Structure 1
Amino acid sequence: MKCSAIFLGKSQCHWYLGLSLFRCLQISAKNLKMTTKLNLVVAACNDLGIGKDGQLPWRLKKDMEFFKKMTTQTDNPDKKNVVIMGRKTWNSIPEKFRPLPKRINIILSKTMSHAPTGAYLAGSLEEAISMVTDKGDLADKVEGVHIIGGSSVYKAAMESDFPCRIYLTRVLADFDCDTFLPQIDSNVFKKIDNCKEVPEGTVTENDIDFVFEVYDKIPGHNTIAEPNALRNQTRMDKGDYPGFYVMAAMCQGRGIGYKSHIPWPPIKEDYYYYMELTSRVTSPDKKCVNIQGRKTWEGTGSQQKQRQSVYNIVITRDEGRREELLKDPDVHNVMTSLDNAIEFSLALENRDQFESVWVMGGQVFFEESLRHPLCKRIYLTEILQHFPADTFFPPIDEETYKEVSRSAVQESKGLQFIYKIYERMK
């Protein structure tokens, strides 16, 4: 039972919380007291991987004990710490162990109709924090605020206006992961040496070395820098609208998919590039339109589907499938053709609602997009390696599109890739 309690305290079997919560967790903290510090507690391996298939890739008892201590220990015995987690984090914990003991559990969800017994429910991170600060109902019961994942919750907290401290267990090994902690930018976060709150030196367990690190956000910073390869090339130009953009990744041979899945192993840098660019808005009142064919939509993960700043349009000509899609809470509209989807998205009456429009696949709609006169830009990640494929990205007509940006060669877990941008010339 002791082992189980420690594991649940770590509660990192939840890393599939999608970037679904990313935009709904955008924090306008200016109206709340800035004395609230968000404490992020997380373990990550060499490439900042934090999970694989919803599970921890490693089992480190001492790290779990550290997590439990950090999230439960208080100076005032009459108060408790709060742990804030997404809905999938909560659901990943066996029912008999919920809520996590000796902590106030707050779940972030837009879809849960009521709070589970022993826990609290909030629609956003901002709302959760308002519950435990100032005049919130829990303010007099809470000592510390801890963020325990998943990746999009960490990202939202790191980008917020709140003071932020990261307790990172850095696992000094490589593991196969599909979920990652955002990069910790040294211009935004400063490493705190000799911090008394964490064990010193390298710890070894199960032949795995790991160290405990602490980072504090530098005052005045409230954002995560984009990867170097993406800087100065991903900002939307003012006046680009109306028009739409294509976002795609392909391997050598122009392959984009194999049996309804991406042919290559996950590349976290490209994943964040894709997720950020196709959901970026300058106002919480606006959304990015993401247009996908039905098969592409069905192969898309919940993290991508549930982003709050995205308006999802799915294209299908199958009337039966249309009825099924309309029942999907993440689908906002169903169209019968790309032309109809583009016309709707760029209509004058919708311009106050939509900030940008993106076509995300599959093959047929990429082909139609590149021929469409309102396709203004192509964002293409090129994987410099061959993989089996059964769907492909169309050739780019050099008389129609001009390459305007190309990154240096990037590498992630042995895979090399480059980012390219093409603009329509006529």
Structure 2
Amino acid sequence: MSEARERNGPKPIKIIVAAGRNRGIGIKGNLPWNLPNEFKYFLDKITSVSNPGKKNFIMVGRTSFEGFPDCLLPLPNAIVAILSKTLRSTPKHAAYVCQDVQEVLDLASSTPLSKDIETIWALGGVQSYMEVMHHPWCNQIFFTNVMADFECDTFFPAIDTGVFNLVEQFPGVPLGLQEENGIKYEFQVYERKGSISM
């Protein structure tokens, strides 16, 4: 019989996503664009910790995780939880398979994991993005506004500006228009109104 986990309170959840003009984020399990600097920004965010020895808890759907290049795995400073209702075994470079968002949050906020985790990062898919955006622990959305049209079959939900404010400047987030391969984009951060640091 496994010993009961002790809840240690909330952990901040941050969403990170890049989306085109129609809010498209993917096509057949892949990114619709090739933006190496934007992808490096994404990796830097999800693997950076401010306290040495801490790790980030990465919540990601199976399809999104399978799209990660093998050369980038395992992710540094990260514990990966795959969201899947069908997986029966834990994929290489992942630590957990969870049925839903609540299972991830229960794991991350309970001993023994909670003492090691700094931030929970939500990387998709769409259903988990929607759930996380409505969760009170979700305090920030790191959104890359890709200013172009792409064929997509997966779309990011609309951000409720009644709940989240666009922040004009945010530490560690480059300002102004970026451009790669003829595609312009902008890094943005939305912050939950009235959110308090955890």
Shorter-chain TM range is: 0.7 to 0.9
State which of 21, 42, 49 in structure 1 corresponds to 2:24.
Answer: 49
**What is the distance in 2 between the residues matched to 1:98 and 1:129?**
23
SS across alignment from 1:70: helix
Query: Of the two, which has the highest radius of gyration?
Result: 1
Report what 1:103 is aligned to.
78
Q: Gapped runs of 5+ residues in structure 1?
A: 1-30, 221-426
User: Match of 1:124?
Assistant: 100
**Do residues 184 (structure 1) and 148 (structure 2) align?**
no
Percent identical residues: 34
Alpha-carbon contact 1:107-1:122 (below 8 Å) kept: yes
> In the alignment, is residue 171 of structure 1 matched against residue 155 of structure 2?
no
SS of equivalent to 2:60: strand
Deviations 1:62-94 (A, max 9, x none): 111111110111111211111111122233345
Q: Partner residue of 1:205?
A: 180
TM-score for both structures, normalised by structure 1:
0.41
Q: Which amino acid aligns with 1:146?
A: W
Shift of 1:144: 1.1
Higher alpha-carbon deviation: 103-112 or 204-213: 103-112
Q: Which amino acid aligns with 1:191?
A: L
Q: 1:177 offset after TM fit, Å?
A: 1.4
Q: Distance in 2 between matches of 1:219 and 1:202?
A: 28
| Partner residue in 2 for 1:153 | 128
User: Which structure: greater helix fraction?
Assistant: 1
Partner secondary structure for residue 144 of structure 1: strand
Q: CA RMSD in A?
A: 2.1
Give the aligned partner of residue 193 of structure 2: 218
Q: CA deviation digits over 1:288-317, x for unaligned, max 9? A: xxxxxxxxxxxxxxxxxxxxxxxxxxxxxx
Are the counterparts in 1 of residues 11 and 118 from structure 2 also a CA contact under 8 Å?
A: no
Distance of 2:141 and 2:194 partners within structure 1: 14
Look up the equivalent residue of 1:72 and give its one-letter code.
Answer: T
The answer for unaligned runs of 5 or more in structure 2 is 1-6
Cα distance in 1 for residues equivalent to 2:173 and 2:72: 27
Q: How many residues align?
A: 188
| Cα displacement (A) at 1:111 | 2.0
**Relative contact order (C-alpha < 8 Å, sep 6+): which is higher?**
2
CA contact (8 A) 1:32 1:130 kept: no
SS at match of 2:160: coil
TM-score, reference length from structure 2: 0.85
